[in-house]
Amino acid sequence: MNGCESRTLAAAGLVDACTELLGQGGRMQFAYAWFPEPGLAELRYVTAPAARRPFVAWKVQAPPAGEVPSLAHVSPLLGWYEREITDLCGLHFAGHPEPDPLVLHDGASAARAPLSPGHDADAALCLQARPLRLPELRTPHAGREVQLLPFGPVRGDVLESAQFVFMYLGEAIIWYQPRLFFKHRGMERRFQGLRADLGCLLAERVSGVGSVCHALAYCQAVEAACGCVPPPRALALRMLLAELERLYNHLHYLGHLCHTTTLKVGEAEGKLLEERMKQLLARLCGSRFGRGLLTPGGLRRDLAVPAGWAAQLESLCGQAGRYGDMLEATQSHLDRLQTTGHLDRRVAFDQGATGPVERASAIDRDLRRDHAYAGYAALPLVVPVREAGDAHARVQVRLGEIEASFALARHLLDALPAGAWRAPCTPVPEGEGLGWAEGPRGSVFYAVHLDAQGRLARVKVKSPSFSNWRVFPSTVHDSNMMDYAINEASFGLSIAGCAR
Amino acid sequence: MPQWTLFGLHQGSASTRWPAAGADAGQAGVLGMPRLDARRCQAGCSDCADACITRAIRIEPEGAAVRVALDYGRCVACQLCVEVCPSGALQTSPDWALAVRERDDLVWREALASAPARELASGVRRVFGRSLHVRHVDAGSCNGCESELQALNNPFYNLHRLGIFFTPSPRFADLLLVTGTVTYAMREPLLATYDAMPEPRWVMASGTCAVCGGVAEGGYAGGHGLDGVLPVDVWLPGCPPNPAALIHALLLLVERAAPTFSRGRHVD
């Protein structure tokens, strides 16, 4: 696989290899399965031995009969990937601690696993609704008046669809489970058979507010597979778009968090700054989400920075700075954030937290620096890290990132390379590539496999919210209902990216 | 707290006066759906159709010749057809306010026959006056549509100034605004929400996914939008429709705006 190193392992050696990796300070990134040919299933585990060293993809051939050992006991974050592989590829894992469907809805059934060979592309899933499966309550709660609240999937306000199931006693939440895959659209399957350049349009639409980082990771995966290097101007403009995306997302995050703490003027200001950033993005590239620019090989067209545009960005930078200072000086707002939704460093690591969430729990990691891509290695990058692990720390990390992203954008605009913006990117038959980007919410990975005709055979999408939703419930158990909305907002999660 | 009060007063109003007055809809530079001039098409060329992942453009045989069929209800405004067109038959445009009352009005036709002015059979204005309460349901979107819907309540668009409100309960809602492709798991919750709404009630398909399924159409989990699922009163393609396009569509429903699109063409 291009873009990383490869290592072939036997299924029986997985547990030892994973234990060794973690023991040496490495970490698992994500896992997926694909079918190089009918009847032959191959698992891929993408691992990071250490910062500033290449990722290593483990190739494991699934035994034709029998199961693959589950690694969820060794590296808990893999639990969700294994369940996804079972749902979509029909492979089973021995000794999985939670062997329930994840991506497919409870009660959904298909004649064949949707990503397995021979699955009819148009065959829809059957859904037979089932009652909620709830945990059995033992002492000290058994027999007390525990309330059940299944909230959603259609919730108040303009929100993405998901169901949150609470069991609570008074204000105290005893048990919480998010059901996140009502919106599962089968996006990975939609890539299959497409031309590699057209796949970018799909990548832009996996998670709308992550259009640029998804397109960037996708393009880099295809470029790795095809041995293509985009010209410097394309790389610089890609980084500019990616930083603008981070900015409008973080400004929205601050405004939305004020909504949950009922700081009304703070909410209005945050969302106004977000709007101004989206309008700037549209004036630069024609899309409020930065869509329609990236393509494997570079950019689809050149961008000219409009007159006065950089000055407006500078003015927005000043406004955002003042806004952040005011938020940090508002004690009533901070009181609701401090100690709320505490995420321990160990839990954050084990469960695979990513982006600002892990950096607020003292894990100093950013793909832009640790696995530099697209030219970030040459930029003066600041990575804010906080130790506290609470909602306030998650805010402070983002406040620091807003400042850092404005600085990066300024740096890029000052020294925009001239020249070509696109290099030819000819699909390599049976090419394979890994691409990644640090999006506003954390790490995005794309693994791309091309078929004998150079079309997309398998595209695996790892979105940041898939990781952070896995972590989030651990901060909800034993908390209280009043803090729930604040805690959820402080994670800044997207459901579309998670459900795909 | 006082510093926020002072800050708010000092900032003043940030809202646009559009559409009542002024032209600042906030969409400067936004690329809309491409315009087609089929007279400039080259014989035997199908580059645009080959590049269109949502099959908005198809080349259909018509007798011995072929003709271009363009359905804006399927367009995600990705601009790829404009880029690959060798003859300039497809051009970028600022056309983003594509809300229409008839799905058919999104389909481009060769000859523009003069159509009789259509009355809105629903009589929304008679029932609700000028105001509207909206219940939104995400039936499987990429969150782009939600991002733009949430923007409607930011100070720039300030939807409240137009007497239009989002309501949490379907019981209080006049309009069901649906985004997303209607996935297999969201179909039932969507229908249950519609059933919970009192009559008279209206439905808007917002975004290309809700109009036809968009990029996620079909497959094992995705749907085909609202066609055949619910009776739709306003169709608004876009990927996603920007907040000004959403405002135009909402005002179109309550007869406070006129369609700017008819029979697959922009009407000035």
Residue B268, pLDDT > 70, answer no
CA A215 to chain B, closest CA, distance in angstroms equals 13
Residue-wise pLDDT for A42-90, tens only, equals 999 999 998 889 999 999 998 877 789 999 999 999 999 999 999 999 8
Give which of B16, B135, B138, B142 to mutate to test A binding, by max A Cβ within 10 Å.
Answer: B142
Q: Is A122 on the interface with B (CB under 8 A)?
A: yes
Which chain A residues in 17-46 lie under 8 Å from chain B, judged by CB atoms? Answer: none
The answer to whether the Cβ–Cβ distance between A185 and B183 falls below 8 Å is yes
Please state the domain extents for chain A.
Answer: 5-127, 188-464
Which CATH code is given to the segment(s) A5-127? Answer: 3.30.460.80
C-alpha–C-alpha distance, residues B92 and B36, integer Å: 9
Question: What's the pLDDT score for residue B122?
Answer: 56
More confident residue, B231 or A142: B231
Residue of chain B with shortest Cα separation from A161: B138
Which one of A114, A155, A286 has the shortest CB-CB distance to B220? A114
- Say whether B144 and A184 touch across the interface (CB within 8 A): no
Q: What confidence score (pLDDT) does residue B1 get? A: 65
Of B30, B138, B221, the CB nearest to A282: B30
The answer to whether A245 touches A211, Cβ cutoff 8 Å, is yes
- Residue B222 confidence class, pLDDT cut points 50, 70, 90: confident
> What residue in A sits closest to B4 (Cα-Cα)?
A265
Interface check A416 vs B, CB under 8 A: no
Burial of A2 (0-12, 13-18, 19+ CB in 10 A): middle
pLDDT at B110: 64
Check pLDDT > 80 for residue B118: no
Residue type, B3: Q
What per-residue string of b and e applies to A287-316 under the rule 16 or more CB within 10 Å gives b?
bbbbbbbbbbbbbbbebeeeeeeeeebeeb
Highest mean pLDDT among A74-83, A475-484, B15-24, B221-230: A74-83
Lowest-pLDDT range of A13-27, A125-139, A144-158, A387-401:
A125-139
Q: Indicate yes or no: CB of B166 within 8 angstroms of CB of A158.
A: yes
CB A61 within 8 A of CB A14: no
What residues does CATH 3.30.70.3270 cover in chain B? 35-95
With 50 as the cut, is the pLDDT of residue B116 above it?
A: no
Please indicate whether, in this complex, the C-beta atoms of A278 and B143 are within 8 angstroms of each other.
no
Check if CATH label 1.10.287.130 holds for domain B35-95. no
The per-residue pLDDT for A315 is 96
Partner-chain contact B155 A283, CB within 8 Å: no
pLDDT at res. B199: 87
Q: Which residues of B touch A123 (CB under 8 A)?
A: 220
Percent of chain B with pLDDT over 70: 92
Q: Which two tokens stand for residue A297?
A: 């090989």
**Interval B35-44 mean pLDDT:** 86
> Averaged over A272-282, what is the pLDDT?
96
Judge whether residue B125 has pLDDT over 80.
Answer: no
Q: Where in chain B is the domain with CATH 3.40.50.12280?
A: 124-263
Distance from C-alpha of B16 to C-alpha of B20, rounded to nearest angstrom: 9
Chain A residues 317-336 within an 8 A CB cutoff of chain B: 326, 329-330, 332
pLDDT band at B181 (very low <50, low <70, confident <90, very high): very high
The predicted pLDDT at position B120 comes to 53
Q: Nearest CA of chain B to the CA of A278: how many Å?
A: 10
Q: Residues A452-460: what's their mean pLDDT?
A: 94
Mean pLDDT, residues A461-469? 95
Collect all residues with Cβ–Cβ distance below 8 Å to A150 and sequence separation of at least 6: A132, A163, A164, A165, A166
Report yes or no: A27 and A19 within 8 Å, Cβ to Cβ: no
- Note whether B28 contacts A283, CB cutoff 8 Å: yes
Q: Are B147 and A252 within 8 A, CB to CB? A: yes
Distance from C-alpha of A451 to C-alpha of A225, rounded to nearest angstrom: 11
With bands split at pLDDT 50, 70 and 90, how would you rate the model's confidence at A258?
Answer: very high
The CA distance from B60 to B187, in Å, is 33
What per-residue confidence (pLDDT) applies to B117?
Answer: 47
Question: What pLDDT does A348 receive?
Answer: 95
Please, which pLDDT band fits residue A156 given cuts at 50, 70 and 90? confident
Q: pLDDT tier at A210 (50, 70, 90 boundaries)? A: very high
On chain B, the residues whose CB falls within 8 A of the CB of A306 are: 29
Range with the poorest average pLDDT among A42-46, A135-139, A359-363, B134-138? A135-139
Q: Residue A456: how many CA atoms within 13 Å on its side-chain side? A: 28
Q: Are the Cβ atoms of B5 and A265 closer than 8 angstroms? A: yes
B124-263 to CATH, choices 3.40.190.10, 3.20.20.70, 3.40.630.30, 3.40.50.12280 = 3.40.50.12280
CATH of A188-464, one of 1.10.645.10, 2.40.128.280, 3.40.1080.20, 3.30.200.20: 1.10.645.10
Residue type present at position B38: A
Percent of chain A with pLDDT over 70: 99
Q: What is the pLDDT of residues A284-333, one digit of tens each?
A: 999 999 999 999 999 999 999 999 999 999 999 999 999 999 999 999 99
